[in-house]
Amino acid sequence: MSDQRLPAVHSASQLDFISHSPAQTERVGQRLGEQLRPGDLILLMGTFGVGKTHLVKGIARGLGVTDLVTSPSFVLVNEYRAGAEHGAMPIYHVDLYRLAGAADLATLGLEELWEGRGVCLIEWPGRAEAMLPHDRLVIQIEHLSETKRHVRFVPHGARYLSLISSLRGGS
């Protein structure tokens, strides 16, 4: 799994759109966040500065987080609490970019985060590809211009197919 470019694969199950600003990216994230539930695993792919953290800010807002949401680049994992309407479940925002190797990954306890009672959002997921479960939502963000981004939601598994359908305005 590459963390850099969007693959040329097109599927009826994926959802593509163009974000014209960081604020629009956050609004999309908020809409997604409102629908997330415990056990959901979201993988965020894209280059530095493409807007992954803006998307996470929106997801957190959609889950009722009122704390400041920042990139966990230097601490590896930031934990937030969803609002009461989402059961105050934990939200784990993970950034794997700075991992030195497999030993660091093993000590992180990543599996416990996505198998727990909360939502797990992982930036630079390619660093843990071998251990990631099949069922997940991959969000790929690609830089188009100073403010425009191509965002692609790629569902893997029935839960995430349903989530994409709901985001489209379906069932």
Helices marked H in the chain: 22-33, 52-62, 102-108, 110-114, 158-168
pLDDT of 14 reads 94
Given a cut of 70, the residues of the chain with pLDDT beneath it are 1-12, 73-74, 100-107, 170-171
pLDDT of 4 reads 46
pLDDT of 16 reads 94
pLDDT of 5 reads 47
Beta bridge partners of 121: 42, 93
Q: List, for residues 70-93, the tens digit of each pLDDT value.
A: 887 667 888 999 999 999 999 999
pLDDT of 170 reads 57
Q: Half-sphere exposure (CA, 13 Å, Cβ side) for 73? A: 6
Element at 154 (helix H, strand E): strand 149-156
Strands (E), 3-111: 15-19, 41-45, 77-81, 90-95
pLDDT of 74 reads 66
Single pTM value for the model: 0.88
Domains of the chain plus CATH, in order, are 15-168 (3.40.50.300)
pLDDT of 77 reads 87
Please answer whether residues 25 and 51 qualify as being in contact, where contact means their C-beta atoms are separated by less than 8 angstroms. Answer: yes
pLDDT of 7 reads 46
